[in-house]
């Protein structure tokens, strides 16, 4: 009976060790392939990286934008370069850099990585996280048609109504400006996109938008978590892969 109890545990341990060795081996080979391919091509500045891991332990899991801002000031560059487990990440840390690369030369950079962590939260079909392809182009076409200059006039009455509610609310209760501003933003987005009318500051849709914003900002660096690099672990149980970001995504789904 004791032998039967030991065998499953041994099998689990062996499986975990084999998986870990396979992942490390694959990432080491990927690391050196990336280094070889990028040799001779200048990259934006970045902090000192660790072997194999790269900047995995450098990028904070929560609110990494503050760290990027600090690095931009230290390195005197609004474009930063990171490498996480062999995957190259370029951070645009100013409006000017974003416009130059994503607007003026947007055709060169129109794709985006797969956000597996956000998919675990339920954001699989969201235009913001879709990769370039037929589905992305279809969603973008529908969105652009609704926001052409000839069509946006229909949203003016909604914006004026909510602006009045915001101003009146701040005049009556200046200390609640944060709640009122959040209500204003939620009312504009949901009213424009879905025709939903926010009734008051305690509307459940406001709480929903706050939760969504918190989940997206605290799960980990976009496309930089363990499940983003190894998507197959999303199908593994929590006890086998005790990853903070993946567990966070599952709890906030």
pLDDT means per 10 residues, the chain with 253 residues, are 43 51 54 53 87 83 86 94 84 92 83 86 84 88 85 91 95 92 94 90 90 85 80 85 85 81
Tokens of 118: 């956000």
* This model's pTM is above 0.75: no
Q: How many domains does the chain have?
A: 1
In this predicted model, what pLDDT tens digit does every residue of 71-97 receive, in sequence order? 999 999 999 999 887 778 889 999 999
Q: What is the pLDDT of residue 5?
A: 42
pLDDT (tens digit per residue) in 174-221? 999 999 999 999 999 999 988 999 988 889 999 998 888 888 888 877
In 100-138, which positions are buried (b, 16+ CB within 10 angstroms) versus exposed (e)? eeeeeeeeeeeeeeebbbbbbbebeeeeebbeeeeebee
Residue 38 covered by a domain: no
* Average pLDDT of the chain, as a whole number: 82
- The residue with tokens 């672990």 is 233
Coil, helix or strand for 90? Answer: strand
CB atoms within 10 A of CB 89: 18
Q: Is residue 215 a part of any domain in this protein?
A: yes
Q: Which domain holds residue 176?
A: 112-253
3-state DSSP assignment of residue 134: helix
| Angstrom distance (rounded) from CA 51 to CA 183 | 46
Residue 121 lies in a domain: yes
Query: If you count them, how many residues does the chain have?
Result: 253
């Amino acid at each position: 009976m004791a032998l039967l109890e030991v065998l499953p545990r041994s099998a689990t341990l062996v499986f975990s060790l084999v998986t870990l060795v396979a992942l490390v081996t694959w990432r080491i080979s990927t690391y050196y392939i990336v280094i070889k391919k990028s040799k001779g091509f200048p990259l934006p500045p970045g902090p000192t990286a660790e072997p194999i891991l790269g900047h995995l332990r450098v990028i904070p899991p929560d609110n990494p934008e503050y760290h990027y801002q600090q690095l931009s000031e230290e390195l005197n560059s609004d474009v930063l370069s990171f490498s996480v487990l062999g995957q190259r990440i370029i951070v645009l840390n100013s409006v000017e850099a974003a416009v130059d690369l994503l607007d003026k030369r947007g055709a060169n950079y129109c794709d985006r990585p797969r956000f597996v962590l956000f998919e675990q939260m339920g954001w699989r079909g969201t235009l913001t996280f879709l990769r370039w392809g037929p589905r992305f182009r279809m969603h973008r076409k529908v969105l652009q048609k609704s926001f052409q200059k000839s069509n946006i006039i229909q949203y003016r009455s909604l914006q004026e109504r909510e602006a009045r509610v915001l101003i009146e609310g701040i005049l009556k209760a200046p200390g609640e400006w944060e709640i009122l501003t959040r209500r204003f933003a939620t009312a504009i987005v949901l009213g424009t996109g879905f025709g939903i009318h926010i009734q008051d500051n305690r509307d459940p849709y406001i709480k929903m938008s706050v939760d969504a914003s918190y989940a997206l900002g605290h799960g980990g660096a976009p496309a930089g978590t363990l499940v983003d690099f190894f998507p197959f672990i999303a199908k593994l149980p929590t006890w086998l892969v005790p990853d903070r970001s993946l567990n966070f995504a599952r709890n906030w789904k």
